[in-house]
């Protein structure tokens, strides 16, 4: 089985546990010093992304395009824009990503094309009513479909534009240089399936379906969420299930919850979808210091089919959209988060996460904790892991699409090109200047936001409850404190956050969990046992807790009756030797507690982490010497060395017969 096929052939529900990293090729790293990021540069930074702990990369459009809408105006669906490299570069990138067990999601922009696409150029010159002309939607009048809203209100006055070559109006839901495809034409369906086969056949793990609610037009409707759209998605999904098991569709449907849920179908349309309405309400709740906006929108969200998953995000490449809020809420958000009118665009706010939160470290941690805790898989926008700033003076949404800040070197370490050649200037705002705020600096500082993000991702990945668990709000007497429980099988995680800038106390109703002991996930410190009465929590400003509610209060060695710890591994066995894998979080502490050679059994192990992995060649197989940092609940930490190697089932059993503790993991 090829490496590309192997990644997608694992758990078919992999997207439920995914931590997704969104990036644009042009913005990440320049591999050929022309001022524009490319696939060669991205390949060089895959180790950084692997160490960050993310599991999936979502790439913005990289196809040939006039780039009038940052690549969403596609002129050729079967190639790579020459600024970003070649198809050979893309294939190598895909191979290198899969070697690191990083899945790749790309864009399938099927609502519209560029007006430079060969289809449109052929259509505008073809006779009216011909198959070529019918690739797009035409009219002799701009008065049709008047109930459809105009999405880009700052740039377009109508959804119709006149084409002098065709001598007719063409339909577009976005920019006038992006004509909408005609999905009433069976030939368009065939083209979409051909495109899908091309990219999924190459090994892409998922496709984001851009602007999916707007595929069809019908008179007397708002031309959104029509039954015909869902019928087409079912057709597309059936094709994927039949030919590409284990792949994923992601719906970009900026709709109210009851409409967005429809894009899951009965589990037979999209696998995942963004939960757009939750995002602005996270900011509202934080600014209002009140949990109501979060509880209210999640209470309005209908249940989704079991195989499906929401995707949660704080920011992305577009504006912070305020379409799915009331007029009153929109006015409030603009007033408190975009006082400068230049920070506003369309119905949203064009700012990054850190500037929105006033570069307040406590707020950044709190919002990311909510992102990692709410039902769904989190999406991190490139640069937000270090708190990058923005520049809304650049126009459109370019202010949140500036070069990644790698170091204090020229051009923020993004490129060695002449600074005037950069596709966009780097951030030089004093508060977010690249000479201070960059990956290199934060990697050296264990107290940095980058290190905190790595730890948060690693901790989240150890618990299936975050990605697959149910959610139940916990009643409390303080509206400024939000509390809920995520539960999956034997895991129960209590999440408590203080939305206030002041210290708060809350009485939580945890009667359903009486007898359990809260254990803080980061430190493994045990708190007071939960009783039938209200549980008291005190939180400093913008503080948060992740607490495992454990029934058992005694130490468990984590092994089976045979003296082995069972782990599920995809790919090479050595992939368990990373800080983010449960081997480091659970198997190592369990083994150390019982190992005869481990001297300090008087103290309670709080955490064991793999500080370094040294390969040792011998006997025809590669073994490893692990440098393990062991921290305790009492006193200073220790460093220990542990040799590990892989043994097949028969050899492992012989080792166990000779010494029951000589093998600690069954893969």
Which of the residues are catalytic?
210, 252
DSSP string, 170-216: EE-SS-TTSPBB-TTSHHHHHHHHHHHHHHHHHT--EEEETTGGGS-
Instruction: Return the DSSP state at 312.
Output: E
The CA distance from 137 to 577, in Å, is: 55
Q: How many helices, marked H, and strands, marked E, lie in the chain?
A: 20, 26
- Pairing verdict, β 103-108 and 56-59: parallel
Q: Percentage helix, strand, coil, to 5, in the chain?
A: 30, 20, 50
Q: Apex CA 53: angle with CA 50 and CA 55, to 5°? A: 80
Instruction: Give 546's strand partners.
Output: 495
Residue with token string 């049709």: 144
The CA distance from 242 to 231, in Å, is: 17
φ, ψ of residue 519 to 5 degrees: the values are -120, 120
Burial class, 289, CB count within 10 angstroms (exposed 0-12 / middle 13-18 / buried 19+): middle
Helix (H, G, I), strand (E, B) or coil at 127: coil
- The closest of 254, 206, 249, 237 to 58, measured between CA atoms, is 206
Instruction: Return the DSSP state at 112.
Output: B
Do 559 and 662 form a contact (C-beta atoms < 8 A)? Answer: no
Do 644 and 553 form a contact (C-beta atoms < 8 A)? Answer: no
The CA distance from 512 to 54, in Å, is: 34
Do 292 and 285 form a contact (C-beta atoms < 8 A)? Answer: yes
SS (H, E, C) 627-647: EEEEEECCCCCEEEEEEECCC
CA 111 to chain centre: 23
Do 483 and 473 form a contact (C-beta atoms < 8 A)? Answer: yes
The CA distance from 304 to 267, in Å, is: 8
Q: Apex CA 391: angle with CA 390 and CA 392, to 5°? A: 115
Q: What count of other Cβ atoms lies within 10 Å of the Cβ of residue 548? A: 19
Task: Provide CB contacts within 8 A for 55, sequence distance 6+.
Answer: 14, 17, 18, 19, 20, 101, 102, 103, 461
CA 552 to chain centre: 34
Distances 561 to 230, 558, 651 between C-alpha atoms, Å: 51, 10, 18
């Amino acid at each position: 089985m090829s490496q590309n096929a192997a990644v997608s052939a694992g758990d078919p529900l992999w997207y439920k546990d995914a931590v997704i990293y969104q990036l644009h090729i042009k913005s990440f790293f320049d591999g050929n010093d022309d001022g524009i990021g490319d696939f060669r540069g991205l390949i060089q930074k895959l180790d950084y992304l692997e160490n960050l702990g993310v599991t999936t990369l979502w790439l913005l459009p990289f196809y040939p395009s006039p780039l009038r809408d940052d690549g969403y105006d596609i002129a050729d669906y079967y190639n790579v824009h020459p600024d970003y490299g070649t198809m050979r570069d893309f294939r190598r990138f895909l191979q290198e990503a899969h070697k690191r067990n990083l899945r790749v999601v790309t864009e399938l922009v099927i609502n519209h094309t560029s007006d430079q696409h060969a289809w449109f150029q052929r259509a505008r010159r073809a006779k009216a009513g011909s198959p070529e002309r019918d690739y797009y939607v035409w009219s002799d009048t701009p008065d049709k479909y008047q109930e459809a809203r105009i999405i880009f209100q700052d740039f377009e006055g109508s959804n119709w534009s006149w084409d002098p070559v065709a001598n007719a109006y063409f339909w577009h839901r976005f920019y006038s240089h992006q004509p909408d495809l005609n999905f009433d034409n069976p030939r368009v369906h065939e083209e979409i399936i051909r495109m899908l086969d091309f990219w999924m056949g190459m090994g892409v793990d998922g496709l984001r379906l851009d602007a999916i609610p707007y595929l069809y037009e019908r008179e007397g409707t708002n031309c959104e969420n029509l039954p015909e759209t869902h019928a087409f998605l079912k057709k597309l999904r059936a094709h994927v299930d039949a030919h590409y098991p284990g792949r994923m569709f992601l719906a970009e449907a900026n709709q109210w919850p009851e409409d967005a849920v429809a894009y899951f179908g009965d589990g037979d349309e999209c696998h995942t979808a963004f939960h757009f309405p939750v995002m602005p309400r996270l900011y509202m709740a934080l600014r209002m210091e009140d949990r109501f906006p979060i509880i209210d929108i999640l209470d309005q969200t209908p249940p989704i089919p079991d195989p499906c998953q929401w995707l949660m995000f704080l920011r992305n490449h577009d504006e912070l959209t305020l379409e799915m809020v009331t007029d009153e809420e929109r006015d409030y958000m603009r007033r408190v988060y975009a006082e400068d009118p230049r920070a506003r665009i369309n119905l949203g706010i064009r700012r990054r996460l850190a500037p929105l939160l006033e570069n307040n470290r406590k707020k950044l941690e709190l919002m990311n904790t909510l992102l990692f805790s709410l039902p769904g898989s989190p999406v991190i926008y490139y640069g937000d892991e270090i708190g990058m700033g923005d520049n809304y003076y650049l126009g459109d949404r370019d202010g949140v699409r500036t070069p990644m800040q790698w170091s204090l070197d020229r051009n923020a370490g993004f490129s060695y090109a002449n600074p005037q050649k950069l596709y966009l200037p780097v951030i030089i705002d004093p508060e977010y200047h690249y000479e201070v705020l960059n990956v290199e600096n934060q990697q050296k500082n264990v107290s940095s936001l980058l290190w905190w993000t790595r730890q948060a991702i690693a901790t989240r990945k150890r618990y299936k409850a975050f990605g697959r668990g149910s959610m139940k709000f916990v009643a409390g007497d303080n509206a400024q404190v939000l509390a809920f429980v995520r539960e999956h099988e034997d895991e129960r995680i209590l999440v408590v956050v203080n939305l206030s800038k002041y210290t708060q106390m809350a009485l939580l109703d945890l009667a359903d969990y009486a007898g359990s002991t809260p254990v803080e996930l980061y430190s493994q410190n045990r708190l007071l046992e939960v009783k039938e009465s209200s549980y008291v929590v005190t939180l400093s400003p913008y503080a948060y807790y992740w607490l495992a509610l454990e029934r058992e209060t005694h130490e468990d060695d984590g092994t089976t009756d045979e003296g082995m710890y069972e782990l599920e591994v995809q790919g090479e066995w050595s992939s368990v030797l990373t800080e983010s894998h449960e081997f480091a979080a659970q198997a190592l502490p369990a083994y150390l507690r019982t190992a005869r050679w481990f001297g300090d059994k008087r103290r309670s192990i709080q955490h064991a982490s793999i500080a370094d992995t040294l390969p040792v060649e011998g006997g025809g197989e590669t073994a490893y010497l692990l440098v393990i940092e062991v921290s305790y609940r009492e006193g200073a930490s220790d460093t220990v060395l542990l040799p590990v190697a892989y043994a097949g089932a028969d050899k492992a059993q012989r080792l166990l017969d000779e010494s029951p503790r000589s093998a600690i993991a069954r893969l």
